Amino acid sequence: MNIQEISFSCYPVTDMARARLFYEGVLGLTATMDHEMEGGHWVEYDIGAGTLAIGVAPGMNPSRDGCSVALEVEDFDGAIAELKAAGVEFNFGPIETPVCHMAFVRDPDGNSVGIHRRKPGH
């Protein structure tokens, strides 16, 4: 087996309409695929070379301690201000490291979503 890249990252959600308000309304992402199927609903957001998906399906359960995705932003301070103004729950940060600025927030189901900005040269 030769794994070549990460195809997508996915968060399970419990309420698609509420989740879309967060991912599209608060984070400003644009859905690139929206598919309803028997027993489920799948939405994808293409971001650069990657894809972030959110889905409702049997056996998919959100977890505050599960995987997380970090989203690279152009204006870190502006993004943090927008998230605070929207009343989004912060889980961690914002902090500065030698190579970046980052913070982790919670989506409406408690999934951890990173907001990230690399410093020049990293």
Residue extents of the structural domains in the chain: 9-118
Q: How many residues does the chain have?
A: 122
Fold held by 9-118: 2,3-Dihydroxybiphenyl 1,2-Dioxygenase; domain 1 (3.10.180)
> What whole-number percentage of the chain has pLDDT above 70?
99
| Residue 25 to residues 18, 110, 113, 115, 118, Cα–Cα distance (Å) | 10, 17, 15, 16, 24
Determine contact, residues 40/33, Cβ cutoff 8 Å.
no
Q: Would you say the pTM of this structure is higher than 0.85?
A: no
Residue 89, C-beta contacts closer than 8 angstroms, at least 6 positions apart: 105, 106
pLDDT band at 23 (very low <50, low <70, confident <90, very high): very high
- Which candidate, 37, 43, 9, places its Cα nearest to that of 23? 43
